[in-house]
A and B are shown apart, each in its own frame.
Chain A
């Protein structure tokens, strides 16, 4: 078969369908993963001891479980207790939990790095702890967490391929099916790899833009550090 025909009539259309699913998986997981991460980090750092323990345990459990195993539990295991999720929903839920747990650690690190004085000054003005966290601590902490959070987002792009293991035909799955059917592993996998590389590149550029956009004037640490 002609390489061009294979590429344009078979591989790329199949990958396009898979890419759409991959993007849907990411779009459904990332926002909630971010929200969960922030909530868990704040809960662990500032919450009542019971909440804090709960958040810590959640992170511990998710970090200690292979994502693939988590997906198997959500998709194949939960029906035995009467909860049946579609493969797509199970994948999204798994990704949210995994993404959330790791994001929580990045956000927690950033929260710890904010000096106590910020909270003290806010409270001295009559703000409640919650107001201080929302208006003073988090806006600063999230800026510092961007490199870590973007790292985790990039992981998400790539580990979304695990959805294939519970029957969601996303980008990798689509590539694998074509590769198997036409016995074109090298070509198919190479093209799939390039698509992931493009996704990650777009993310990297977007994160750089975001970082420079939210940078606080006068705090050009990167520039200063380079001179030292």
Chain B
């Protein structure tokens, strides 16, 4: 692997909220086409980390590069980088007053400056990607959670991002709907999309992740392939964490 393959570089990110240090120096590189999964207890800064990458939250310290250009401290150019860094949220955040199609079209028209016909074509293509083309004219309130999340994935895809950040994309969904969203994400991973995923879905992490980053207390505590973290006796903390989840589920 040469350095040109590194699409996103995150270096020493720190962030505090009201005196509580949520992120205490997180660094990692993301290669093109790679899927990294972030696992860890609640409140360890996983979501904050994603938001620091596209500067929805401004980190106190640390830098982020996309394709060799610095995203942090980029001033007004941040809107250019945000097009290139897609984001999918736990609660979808679809624009409530717009149809599925218009949700996907909006940024194409306003940010990319596409013409109406071209934007519509592109939006329909992305909706087809996530299996939502037939629902193009429906409004968010008429969609199930799984459908809404798939539309929001299409909305992110439409910008042709270099990387997509998934912030607990299935945490608001029941198991059945979770499955349909994970299927879409697996498909994207297979097709070579670069993805950073914060999730509690261990099955997804193990089958899709090139690397798992186990976060605890604002730092990456363990980092490696799923196989390594699950089977190598030198790594214990993620296994402990999973064990705690499992025993809670079996109680």
Residues of A at the B interface (CB closer than 8 Å) are: 117-118, 120-128, 131, 135-136, 139-140, 143, 216-219
Contact = CB atoms under 8 A, between A and B. Distances in A.
B241 interface: no
A135 B79 CA distance: 16
Nearest to B106: A135
Nearest to A214: B97
Interface string B126-148: 00000000000011111000000
B159 A219 contact: no
A127 B141 contact: no
Contacts of A216: 96-97, 139, 141
B93 A127 contact: no
A122 B95 contact: yes
A121 B87 CA distance: 8
A123 B138 CA distance: 23
B102 to A, nearest CB: 10
B79 A120 contact: no
Interface in B81-116: 81-83, 85-87, 89, 91, 93-97, 106-107, 110-111
Interface of B: 54, 56, 79-83, 85-87, 89, 91, 93-97, 106-107, 110-111, 138-142, 152, 155-156, 159
B107 A125 contact: yes
Nearest to B84: A126
Secondary structure of the A contact surface, majority rule: helix
Contact of B93 (A120, A128, A135, A219): A120
B152 to A, nearest CB: 8
Contacts, number: 74
B144 to A, nearest CB: 12
Contact of B111 (A121, A125, A140): A125
B192 to A, nearest CB: 22
Contacts of A140: 95-97
7 pairs of A and B residues whose beta carbons are closest in the complex: A218-B141, A121-B93, A126-B83, A117-B93, A125-B107, A218-B142, A124-B87
Contact of A124 (B54, B91, B96, B141): B54
B89 A120 contact: yes
Most buried by B among A118, A121, A122: A121
B94 A219 contact: no
A136 B140 CA distance: 14
